[in-house]
Structure 1
Amino acid sequence: MDRRKFLKGSVLLSGLLSLSPTELWSSTKRVTSPGAGKAKNIIFMVSDGMSLGTLSMADLYSRNILGKESRWLNLYHEKTVSRALMDTASASSIVTDSAAASSAFGGGIRVQNGVLNIGANGENHIPIWQKYKKAGKKVGCVTSVTITHATPAGFCVNSTKRNAEPQIAEMYAELGIDILMGGGDEFFNPLKREDKKDLYSVYKKKNYQIMKNGIDLKTIQKGNKILGIFNTGALPYSIDRTHLKELQNTPTLAEMADAAIDQMKDHPEGFVLQIEGGKVDWAAHANDIAALIHDQLAFDEAVKTAIDFAEKDGNTLVIITTDHGNANPGIIYGTDATKNFNSISNYHYTNEYILNKIHKDHSAKDIKDWIYEGHKLILNDDEAKHLQSFYNGLEKEEGLYNYKKLPFKLYSEIQKSRNSVGWISMDHSGDYVEATAYGPGSQLLKPYIKNMDLHYLMLEACPL
């Protein structure tokens, strides 16, 4: 690691912590929030699975290592936004899944985990993007996971099963959603769908411009509907995209958001756009600190894109929140906590990439060498042999997005002793979360809300 960069980060944090709360908050000029009036456009942003610790650590990493405050926290310091704590429960549990959470936003009602906008008696609740589409606005969804995943789908469709992604892909075409960008080639490609349907042809017949890589974003023709599918499955984690050349033709969340806004901003009736940082949730499920921080920062870049547009436009309500917490990560107290946390800047890849590169024929020394190369961590023999046991079939680990049964939990525990970041679990949590609003209608956000309240806030701020 560059010693000067590390020392600069350490001094930055030390200086920040030496300020009194009064000095910290008075150091930024107060700016009046443009909250009055009605909104013409809505940008609804979801950092999926973002516990408060995730928001905090991303901001600390940005300050310490990158030398700048995160855009989301800067909004608080500028005092230009309304802010709330939000209860994220579903109809079936105090701990929600993404489908029920998105249905609260999209349908205005709490439903059972696993379903999209369908009530307890089987009744359909019209998703909010359908309402705005009918009212004449352009509607869109942008995500870093599959475009048919639960969070974008909750704003658009009704389904008894959140996992019915092949069918959701068909529903989007029928509804004529104007902008769709994310991953999920397997749900559109006839060579990968079980029913062999060619949904790309279906979308082309409906006058969609099809995009497959980041370069295509520069070829968007004004007035076109857009289907941008940039990967099979989810898009790559941000830190891997940065360090692996073969992934760098995949657009970032901010690039997709900017393209979507630019495509819809001149529509006379306005637009509504959902932007999801879906890989934040996947990183939390894997207890993968490098993936988590860098995808949260990628989401923060998309926040900047949205706020920059809204500041110039003056008619756009931006809502920034999460659908639920996940794994509740946080920095653990200790004399070396700052130094240990800053060492995460030595991680050049996700844990997923590192662990995928280990094979059963690798020796303990091979594993130690590889871990040091990718994360600058020095493992002892026992730790290397413990990791090795997973690849020899002696131990297994489950996990929602751990298809290859990689030792995510074990490796995060090894990292914990070096980076001072701990996790309470590998799954969703029921804690209250942050909700932030900027622009016309932001004054409607009260200090404490339930997730479905945001549905009605949008309808009041931006009437049909």
Structure 2
Amino acid sequence: MQQSVIKYFLDLNCIPNSNVMNRRKFLKGSALLSGILTLNPWDLFAGQHNVQTKKREAKNIIFMISDGMSSGTLAMADLYSRNILGHGGNWMNLYRENKISRALMDTASASSIVTDSAAASSSFGGGFRVKNGVLNIGSNGEHYLPVWQKFMKAGKKTGCVTTVTITHATPAGFCINSESRNAEPEIAEMYANIGFDVMMGGGDEFFNPLKRQDKKDVYDLYKKKGYEVLKTKSDLKNVKKDTKILGVFNTGALPYSIDRQNTPALQTIPTLAEMTSSAISQMKDHKEGFVLQVEGGKVDWAAHANDVAALLHDQIAFEEALKVVMDFAEKDGNTLVIVTTDHGNANPGTIYGPEATEKFNSIAEYKYTNEFILNSIHADFNIQQVKDWIYETNTIRLTDDEARYMLNFYSGLEKQEAGLYNYKKLPFKAYSEIQKKHNSVGWISMDHSGDYVELAMFGPGSELLQPFVKNTDLHYLMLKAASVE
């Protein structure tokens, strides 16, 4: 009789028997149930509760970071996926399907309410908040042991894959200590000396003796330590099992996803999903398990540039890697998946208007990033050439005044724009303001924000997640989930 009554009220409130979180919400909020049943409700559910909360140890951990992802980026990627690609975004689908635990996270650093990627990654990696620009070193010189080194000591394989340089702040924050995030040539050597198992991304200039100032052959250092060095997507497909891997697929960061899709010469460079799949395959059979960081690093760069095509397609590419991870984790059953960002950036979002939907959907006509488009304009262009180029790449019809305004940046008549990753002083902000009238997407800035950000978890250890956490909490949650001291 008890079982029938419970099932009736669970069905009435559309709550699955297996879902502890929904059951708790149901018990708290259902006056109908509390009014009819005289038994203690926790007594009714005691047997089921014990089964659900039985602790499972996470053998593997995959920590996914869409760097610089504001909540608006997640929403717009899902909207684009549904409107244009015909399916929901892979991240938002986890929410729709109720597969994960979810929280908000405070991302501040030791020096500011608005963090940079070095301090943010150090919070995850070292378990302490440090000043912006620093990697796992405290204000008084304390060296906090990075979490991937802790897992190495516990016998697990370790790896990082990213769409920016593998020596960049986010992977480095899980791996090493440094007074400066900009010490990428030194970080390249640190990785080899510590001995991480799989490291993949860009950054040839930090390994190649022809590009390093000190002329050191850091690739040779890795080879002497038994690493297989990969340079192309085909190398990735032919990698030997049970070997350590260094994959460096480009000088600087890897190309933006939409530029890769439309530029055959860039298609020898693997996607984040392909690197992630290879990293998992390389480490998954290790008897002590593995830990892997996956970073969509150019989501952040796109936000800094207010570059909507770059932003949406790289967020979607990150979520393709998320699907690879979830497919593995659901089948494996012993993998904790953490999905989040390190901070917001530029807070993009859709803007109200009578044609907002149609304008937003027009982004599907964009063939390249703004970085590619603006790099292709030169001071010797005339107004008509600018108009033709913008229409060819974005199907936007500029007015003569708009084309003249854009051209003035190249001839020095308009003040050149700065920006964190805008080395060529391209007019990113000016062009995004023109695009806004056509795509209904606005931006509040070109830099990081201090928003509370999305955090989702799946698998053993996800039951430890509280509704609101500090970024440092994830360091200790990972160790507890895997029973590592």
Q: In 2, are the aligned partners of 1:48 and 1:324 still within 8 Å (CA)? A: yes
Question: Which of the numbers 422, 445, 448 marks the counterpart of 1:425?
Answer: 445
Task: Deviation per CA, 1:239-259: give whole Å up to 9, x if none.
Answer: 000000110111000000000
Task: Indicate the residue corresponding to 1:407 in structure 2.
Answer: 427
Alpha-carbon shift at residue 134 of structure 1 (Å)? 1.1
Task: Indicate the residue corresponding to 1:212 in structure 2.
Answer: 231
Task: Indicate the residue corresponding to 1:290 in structure 2.
Answer: 309
Helix, strand or coil: the match of 2:63? Answer: strand
Helix, strand or coil: the match of 1:431? Answer: coil
Helix, strand or coil: the match of 1:45? Answer: strand
Task: Deviation per CA, 1:147-182: give whole Å up to 9, x if none.
Answer: 000000000000000000000000000000100000
Task: Indicate the residue corresponding to 2:481 in structure 1.
Answer: 461
Task: Indicate the residue corresponding to 1:49 in structure 2.
Answer: 68
1:391 aligns with 2:413: no
Stretches of 4+ moved more than 6 A in 1?
28-31
Paired amino acid for 2:343: H
CA–CA distance in structure 2, aligned partners of residues 177 and 416 of structure 1: 44
1:441 aligns with 2:461: yes
Task: Deviation per CA, 1:78-130: give whole Å up to 9, x if none.
Answer: 11111000000000000000000000000000000000000010010000000
Q: How does 1:227-376 map to 2 (within 5 A)?
A: 227-376=246-395
CA–CA distance in structure 2, aligned partners of residues 116 and 463 of structure 1: 25
CA–CA distance in structure 2, aligned partners of residues 29 and 288 of structure 1: 42
Helix, strand or coil: the match of 1:437? Answer: strand
Alpha-carbon shift at residue 29 of structure 1 (Å)? 8.2
Paired amino acid for 2:150: K
Q: Aligned in 2, Cα 1:236/1:29: closer, same or farther, shift over 3 Å?
A: farther
Alpha-carbon shift at residue 213 of structure 1 (Å)? 0.7
Question: Which of the numbers 177, 180, 189 marks the counterpart of 2:208?
Answer: 189
Q: How does 1:20-99 map to 2 (within 5 A)?
A: 32=19, 36-99=55-118
CA–CA distance in structure 2, aligned partners of residues 349 and 142 of structure 1: 24
CA–CA distance in structure 1, aligned partners of residues 398 and 483 of structure 2: 58
CA–CA distance in structure 2, aligned partners of residues 156 and 303 of structure 1: 22
CA–CA distance in structure 2, aligned partners of residues 138 and 204 of structure 1: 18
CA–CA distance in structure 2, aligned partners of residues 50 and 351 of structure 1: 18
Task: Deviation per CA, 1:175-227: give whole Å up to 9, x if none.
Answer: 00100000000000000000000001000000100000111111110000000
Structure with larger RCO (C-alpha < 8 A, sep 6+): 1
The count of residues paired between Structure 1 and Structure 2 equals 439
Task: Deviation per CA, 1:283-331: give whole Å up to 9, x if none.
Answer: 0000000000000000000100001000000000000000000000000
Q: In 2, are the aligned partners of 1:52 and 1:328 still within 8 Å (CA)? A: yes
Q: What TM-score, normalized by structure 1, do the two folds share?
A: 0.93
Task: Indicate the residue corresponding to 1:178 in structure 2.
Answer: 197
Paired amino acid for 2:203: G
1:111 aligns with 2:130: yes
Indicate the percent of aligned positions where both proteins have the same amino acid. Answer: 70
Gaps of 5+ in 1: 1-24
Task: Indicate the residue corresponding to 2:174 in structure 1.
Answer: 155
Helix, strand or coil: the match of 2:125? Answer: helix
Alpha-carbon shift at residue 30 of structure 1 (Å)? 9.0
Alpha-carbon shift at residue 31 of structure 1 (Å)? 7.3
User: Bigger CA drift: 393-402 or 156-165?
Assistant: 393-402
Q: In 2, are the aligned partners of 1:283 and 1:292 still within 8 Å (CA)? A: yes
CA–CA distance in structure 1, aligned partners of residues 466 and 403 of structure 2: 51
Helix, strand or coil: the match of 1:283? Answer: helix
Alpha-carbon shift at residue 229 of structure 1 (Å)? 0.1
Q: In 2, are the aligned partners of 1:30 and 1:78 still within 8 Å (CA)? A: no
Task: Deviation per CA, 1:47-79: give whole Å up to 9, x if none.
Answer: 000000000000000000000011111111111
Task: Deviation per CA, 1:13-65: give whole Å up to 9, x if none.
Answer: xxxxxxxxxxxx97x98975988411000000000000000000000000000
CA–CA distance in structure 1, aligned partners of residues 248 and 435 of structure 2: 34
Gaps of 5+ in 2: 1-12, 21-51
User: Bigger CA drift: 35-44 or 276-285?
Assistant: 35-44
Q: Highest Rg: 1 or 2?
A: 2
Paired amino acid for 2:482: C
CA–CA distance in structure 1, aligned partners of residues 234 and 403 of structure 2: 41
Q: In 2, are the aligned partners of 1:321 and 1:435 still within 8 Å (CA)? A: yes
Paired amino acid for 1:416: K
CA–CA distance in structure 1, aligned partners of residues 401 and 367 of structure 2: 24
CA–CA distance in structure 1, aligned partners of residues 153 and 18 of structure 2: 36
User: Bigger CA drift: 137-146 or 36-45?
Assistant: 36-45
Paired amino acid for 1:210: V
CA–CA distance in structure 2, aligned partners of residues 32 and 147 of structure 1: 39
Paired amino acid for 1:197: K
CA–CA distance in structure 2, aligned partners of residues 353 and 324 of structure 1: 26
Q: How does 1:126-137 map to 2 (within 5 A)?
A: 126-137=145-156
